[in-house]
Amino acid sequence: GAVVSQHPSRVICKSGTSVKIECRSLDFQATTMFWYRQFPKQSLMLMATSNEGSKATYEQGVEKDKFLINHASLTLSTLTVTSAHPEDSSFYICSVVGASGNTIYFGEGSWLTVV
C-alpha cells in the first residue's frame, strides 16, 4: 500500500491566488520530507527539504517566499504556492525516508495548473 499520500492529486487555481499541497507519511513518522517539481518531459528537480519543527532548507534558485513549506507534525508537510502564476504550473512531488533509512518513498504527485 501507499507509504506517502499527497493531496490534492490535481488542482486548478486562478493566477494570483495561493494553493496548498499536502504530503502525508502514512506508515511512520518523518522528521524530514522533500519537495520536488517536475515540468513536462523533464526530470525531477529538488526544491526544498522540509524539517519538522524548524525552517525548510531551499535549493539554490528556489524562492522561499513563494514556495512556503510548513512541517508542523511528524506526518505532515505542506507546500503553499503563493501568488501563483501560469509558469508555476507543474507536477509537485514529495518524498519521505523510510523507517529503515534505506529507501526513499515518493508520493503520487500533485498536478498544479494555474490559469
Partner 1 sequence: DAKTTQPPSMDCAEGRAANLPCNHSTISGNEYVYWYRQIHSQGPQYIIHGLKNNETNEMASLIITEDRKSSTLILPHATLRDTAVYYCIVREPTGNQFYFGTGTSLTVIP
CB of 66 to partner 1, least distance (A): 20
What are the CB-based long-range contacts (under 8 Å, 24+) for 45-49?
Answer: 47/79
C-alpha distances out from residue 8 to 20, 36, 101, 108, Å: 9, 15, 27, 10
CB of 49 to partner 1, least distance (A): 6
Draw the binding track, 57-86, toward partner 1 (x: CB under 8 A; -: no contact): ------------------------------
Q: Which of 13, 49, 51, 113 binds partner 1 (CB under 8 A)?
A: 49
CB of 63 to partner 1, least distance (A): 18
| DSSP assignment of 34-90 | EEEEE-TTS--EEEEEEETTS--EEPTT--TTTEEEEEEETTEEEEEE-S--GGG-E
Binding residues vs partner 1 (CB under 8 A): 4, 6, 32, 34, 36, 43-46, 49, 91, 93, 95, 97, 102-109, 111
